[in-house]
């Protein structure tokens, strides 16, 4: 009889442990899919606000008028140099009009470690800085941690990717997209897919996971430098197209 | 395990319920704030960079 009781207690104990493990796993999914967004969105908003403050940005210049003047300003000379950021620091803000008017502009931090990508979009160290000749390579989450690149697969050729720094706005235009295997470091080479070749163009590459909720492949967006303008000119016309400007300039 | 905890909670039913709720919330908080962030790098859902 005692043995029977012992067995019963043991079986019940194991059953409860398994139920508990199941609950913990469900909680983990909830945390990953929901809570990391909550936390990261808040953190990234603070970092973006901090950057604006640090840069002394005027409180929200209104977005450009609906119909920007024909033939926007002629090229204004070579884009300004961006100082090499210290690892882990936020040094730019990325705007993608295609992601919608309610898309929260994301900070760009130096480095692509998982812990850094909680703070925004990661800049691959050693790749070009905004406006430079070469390839500005950025990595972002497509799901979880604020999912800055959630809608990356909706982007179409010609779509603007705008990098905002202390001094200037840099507008890049999407050229193409593709899906590659994770080991393809050549997509962030100065000339994408041609490692070792000296760059002549100003390019930008975005990387995100693919398919969503998986790490099997990477979704890649290639973009080409279009224009730049100093911060004092206000947000570029590119932010007023394709789904409106970023949150903070939206009414 | 759960039965054992329940039996050892002091007080009348209402107090026990309250204590149990607080316990559950505390465990969830510990998981959300410390355990899950430590476990996240070990699961392969979050890789979005190219590299080795």
- Report residue B46's pLDDT band, with 50, 70 and 90 as the boundaries: confident
B38 CB near a chain A CB, below 8 Å?
Answer: no
B45 CB near a chain A CB, below 8 Å?
Answer: yes
Q: Is the ipTM of this complex over 0.95?
A: no
* Higher-scoring residue by pLDDT: A80, A76: A80
Q: Which residues contact A40 (CB under 8 A, 6 or more apart)?
A: A118, A119, A144, A145, A146
- Report residue A245's pLDDT band, with 50, 70 and 90 as the boundaries: very low
Sign of the torsion formed by the C-alpha atoms of A84, A57, A238 and A143: positive
Which residues of A are catalytic, by number?
Answer: 141, 209, 218
Query: CA B1, CA B3: separation in Å to the nearest integer?
Result: 5
- Report residue B44's pLDDT band, with 50, 70 and 90 as the boundaries: confident
Q: Tell me the DSSP string of A48-91.
A: HHHHHHHHT--S-PPPPPSSPPSS-----SSPPPPPPPPTT-EE
Query: CA A184, CA B47: separation in Å to the nearest integer?
Result: 13
Is residue A67 scored above 80 in pLDDT? no
pTM: 0.85
Contact yes or no for A62/A251 (Cβ under 8 A): no
Q: How many CB atoms lie within 10 A of CB A93?
A: 25
B30 CB near a chain A CB, below 8 Å?
Answer: no
- Report residue A66's pLDDT band, with 50, 70 and 90 as the boundaries: low
To probe the interface with A, which of B38, B48, B51, B52 has the most A CB atoms within 10 Å?
Answer: B48
A200-210: average pLDDT: 94
Domains, chain A? 42-249 (2.40.260.10)
Q: Which residues contact A180 (CB under 8 A, 6 or more apart)?
A: A187, A217, A218, A220, B50
Contact yes or no for B30/B38 (Cβ under 8 A): no
Structure tokens at A251: 């009414």
B24 CB near a chain A CB, below 8 Å?
Answer: no
Q: How many CB pairs below 8 A link A and B?
A: 76
Is residue B5 scored above 80 in pLDDT? yes
Q: Considering only the beta carbons, identify the residue of A28, A114, A187 that sits closest to B41.
A: A114
Is residue A181 scored above 80 in pLDDT? yes
Query: CA A161, CA A238: separation in Å to the nearest integer?
Result: 8
Query: CA A15, CA A36: separation in Å to the nearest integer?
Result: 30
């Amino acid at each position: 009889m005692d043995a029977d009781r012992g067995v019963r207690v043991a079986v019940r104990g194991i059953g409860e442990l398994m139920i508990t493990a199941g609950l913990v796993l469900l909680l983990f999914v909830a945390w990953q899919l929901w809570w990391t967004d909550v936390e990261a969105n808040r953190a990234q908003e603070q970092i973006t606000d901090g950057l604006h403050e640090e840069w002394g940005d005027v409180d929200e210049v209104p977005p450009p008028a609906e119909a920007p003047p024909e033939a926007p300003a002629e090229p204004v000379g070579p884009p300004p140099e961006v100082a090499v950021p210290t690892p882990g620091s936020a040094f730019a803000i990325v705007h993608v009009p295609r992601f919608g008017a309610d898309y929260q502009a994301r900070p760009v931090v130096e480095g692509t470690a998982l812990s850094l990508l909680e703070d925004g979009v990661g800049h691959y160290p050693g790749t070009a800085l905004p406006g430079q000749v070469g390839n500005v390579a950025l990595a972002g989450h497509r799901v979880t941690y604020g999912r800055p690149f959630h809608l990356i697969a909706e982007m179409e050729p010609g779509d603007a990717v705008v990098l905002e720094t202390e001094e200037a706005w840099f507008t890049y235009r999407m050229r193409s997209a593709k899906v590659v295997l994770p080991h393809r470091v050549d997509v962030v080479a100065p000339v994408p897919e041609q490692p070792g070749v000296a760059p002549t163009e100003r390019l930008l590459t975005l990387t995100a996971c693919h398919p969503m909720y998986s790490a099997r492949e990477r979704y890649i967006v290639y973009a080409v430098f279009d224009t730049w303008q100093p911060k004092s000119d206000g947000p570029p016309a590119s932010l007023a197209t394709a789904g409106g400007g970023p949150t903070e300039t939206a009414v | 395990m759960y039965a054992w905890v329940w039996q050892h909670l002091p007080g009348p039913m209402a107090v026990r319920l309250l204590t149990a709720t607080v316990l559950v919330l505390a465990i969830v908080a510990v998981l959300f704030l410390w355990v899950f962030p430590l476990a996240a790098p070990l699961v392969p859902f979050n890789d979005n960079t190219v590299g080795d």
